[in-house]
Structure 1
């Protein structure tokens, strides 16, 4: 690095400074922008930097943790509740980071399992909450949020997870430090397969050291490595796998399961993007004036499909879409008089206290042709085109509404979350 100085005779000279010449506070501030892989590459430049990066440099790894997650959670509280280094904490929080956002249940399960989960940061834990539509008909777009899964770090430094089936428990510092936990909570293991799949399974009283390998994400460079990771846990042969499996089976004999293993898939595209303005999770008032969730997804050939996302034993309420479009190309405003009539003669299904307050919201910026799923499910049946044809009207604020020519109403869609925060949230006691 080169700096310019001025000597007594007013002749400017250049002074070369290396990174090592800067104060340690400045070095740590700069290094805190790096990720561990980048830090390892930097450490190979000289022995002095190697000693800073290889060992658990208290200030460096705290700065790395705080820079990445300090605005979302309280870094010091995580470490205060567990005897771990900041370097270990960075590794754990890095694994937890991928949980943040929406996940959906996969496969047929019991009704106690939530179909939609939302993970977010807490002061010293991660919370996975059930997200359900309010059951008050016509009451608004309120979303019910019930705690379901608590994830943090035990006093010995290992990750611990608890299921809260009733959704009524709330952790405090005293509860966690003293392990004064509600007896209704179920200790579970959370294991990952890649970045978008996870399994939640009950821990049957084994020591944490025997279960710790379940918390480590398998390598996702090669699929063979991923499957080998899971196979090693249940394989009847191998080094320690068979012994661990026998201990687990023996422990199961004296225990009654409170929770069956369940699988969850991350909803990666849960928010609209400029190229895909309709994709993601939405909420809307149905024709019976109840609130429901919708998932809109784009396929690989340019089409769009929308399905209801309800509280059902299936991951999606309907296997066939509510509406679908073979092309995502919009028709821009202004529209023909016929299209203006089709839009203007319809009622908007929304509660009275959520009427569009801005004229900009009511302005339709563009339109998309859609169909119902009738001709997908029964392709050879002869149907009046008006029975399957519909429209999507996108408003000036980016939201949209849809309706079919056979109906006289439009279902207006609203965002469930914005900038990582749930909207219109009410507690379970208000349900």
Structure 2
């Protein structure tokens, strides 16, 4: 006999244990948490749980990339809600950026220009930005990664950034040692965003170091008003810790009010004021240690199912030197491949290695003519690949051609003098061979070789890195 349907009682969120409720809320965004908090007093109480809810929000989003607990170590006065905001700002940094304009960033003009490519990645309790460049060793896929900027949090929870011109920061311990022993070697910096795809790294002249061994740690750094650059021992040992952007109106106002009453009540106040003004003039007149650098984010730096060639790649050229390539899909359906060179050189980023409007792949089985074009060409590979006992290295596995793209480079779009019937079709025609492992190679009919492109980074890490190199 069929059992009649019985009405089911509705279950509300409050019926679940608190740990389950917090777990569910950890899937929300901060704006959604704020909306939920306004529904009842119980909801408001849950959403104010910093050690539980906001830690869970931080851990769910970044727990697999960094150690959330370590960001709040050493007694830092920072809530997880505040940490979430900081990590959300840092999250936009992660990935590849390209320097825009003429290079700055050196201590003087005698230093060679730094590489244009920069990679930001998560550390255990910080974010590092590294210069990335091809190794100068001929016939090698190795990549030089030189960390030059560190981003963390201060003792009071405010974001803090340092530039290391000598590229020595590899860990939190390295930074601690530099802060304690070689303060003058580090440059306090500001990382400013203009939108989400353009940023500026410049020296922060509004930072002052506390004059004590403990103050030389991260917690000893203090953000000061633009009206002065006092050390902690000045003004009767009171250190300015006001929040907000340096030099903002409330910041300046409170500093001026404090200075006024300090001069009125402190017999040495006028002398302190003169020292402050003298230091300010010296600070404004001194030479910058770090010239501002502008960077543009490389948004589509990884291939997708619909755009399998897109992203940053590395490949060995006919001169057996490693080069970086950027492949992008344009708005009219074409594919462009360019070398990632120094933008200060004329046309370095404008002349494509190839450009084609033909994006239709040839599927297997391939014709005998296509098989001959591929088989008759030599792959440009490192010497260790040629000398390998087994004939191939791990990154060469599954290098079976899955699809072929016919390149018909339209160089007349960028080099008008090459347009016309006088151009040999073999000079502009070639092939792209997409391999089963997701990488690809390309070559032109005029050449007898194939340039195989490999990934520069995977899963948020630079591949094949070598020892640091100073620039």
> Do the two structures share a fold, i.e. TM-score over 0.5?
yes
CA deviation map 1:52-91 (0-9, x unaligned): 32x3532211111112111111111111143111110011
**1:76 matches 2:105:** no
**1:410 matches 2:450:** yes
How many positions carry a matched residue from both structures? 395
Which of 297, 300, 303 is residue 266 of structure 1 equivalent to? Answer: 297
Which of 59, 83, 86 is residue 66 of structure 1 equivalent to? Answer: 59
CA deviation map 1:151-187 (0-9, x unaligned): 0011222111111222123343585499426332211
Is the alpha carbon distance of 1:266 and 1:181 closer, same or farther for their aligned partners in structure 2, counting shifts above 3 Å?
Answer: farther
Is the alpha carbon distance of 1:323 and 1:339 closer, same or farther for their aligned partners in structure 2, counting shifts above 3 Å?
Answer: same
Q: Equivalents in 1 of 2:175, 2:186: separation in Å?
A: 13
Contact 2:169 2:175 survives alignment (8 Å): no
Over the aligned positions, Cα root-mean-square deviation in angstroms equals: 3.3
Contact 1:400 1:412 survives alignment (8 Å): yes
Higher-Rg structure is 2
After TM superposition, give the deviation of residue 241 of structure 1 in Å.
10
Question: Which residue of structure 2 aligns with residue 427 of structure 1?
Answer: 467
SS in 2 for 1:275: coil
Gaps of 5+ in 2: 1-5, 105-111, 209-221, 227-244, 256-276, 387-391
Which of 286, 294, 299 is residue 325 of structure 2 equivalent to? Answer: 294
Q: Equivalents in 1 of 2:345, 2:29: separation in Å?
A: 39
Question: Which residue of structure 1 aligns with residue 87 of structure 2?
Answer: 93
Which of 35, 38, 46 is residue 41 of structure 1 equivalent to? Answer: 35
**1:369 matches 2:363:** no
Question: Which residue of structure 2 aligns with residue 283 of structure 1?
Answer: 314
Question: Which residue of structure 1 aligns with residue 378 of structure 2?
Answer: 347
Contact 2:410 2:428 survives alignment (8 Å): yes
SS in 2 for 1:428: coil
Could you tell me the TM-score, scaled by structure 1's length? 0.82
SS in 2 for 1:40: helix
Q: Which moved more, 1:304-313 or 1:147-156?
A: 304-313
SS in 2 for 1:263: strand
After TM superposition, give the deviation of residue 348 of structure 1 in Å.
0.8
Equivalent residues in 2 for 1:9-408, closer than 5 Å: 17-53=11-47, 55=48, 57-81=50-74, 82-110=76-104, 111-138=112-139, 140-173=140-173, 175-176=175-176, 179-180=179-180, 182=182, 183-206=184-207, 208-209=222-223, 252-311=283-342, 313=344, 317-354=348-385, 356=392, 360-371=398-409, 373=411, 376-377=414-415, 378-380=417-419, 382-408=422-448
Is the alpha carbon distance of 1:108 and 1:372 closer, same or farther for their aligned partners in structure 2, counting shifts above 3 Å?
Answer: farther
Q: Equivalents in 2 of 1:362, 1:402: separation in Å?
A: 14
Contact 1:309 1:316 survives alignment (8 Å): no
Is the alpha carbon distance of 1:165 and 1:174 closer, same or farther for their aligned partners in structure 2, counting shifts above 3 Å?
Answer: closer
Q: Equivalents in 2 of 1:93, 1:205: separation in Å?
A: 23
After TM superposition, give the deviation of residue 411 of structure 1 in Å.
0.6
Could you tell me the TM-score, scaled by structure 2's length? 0.76
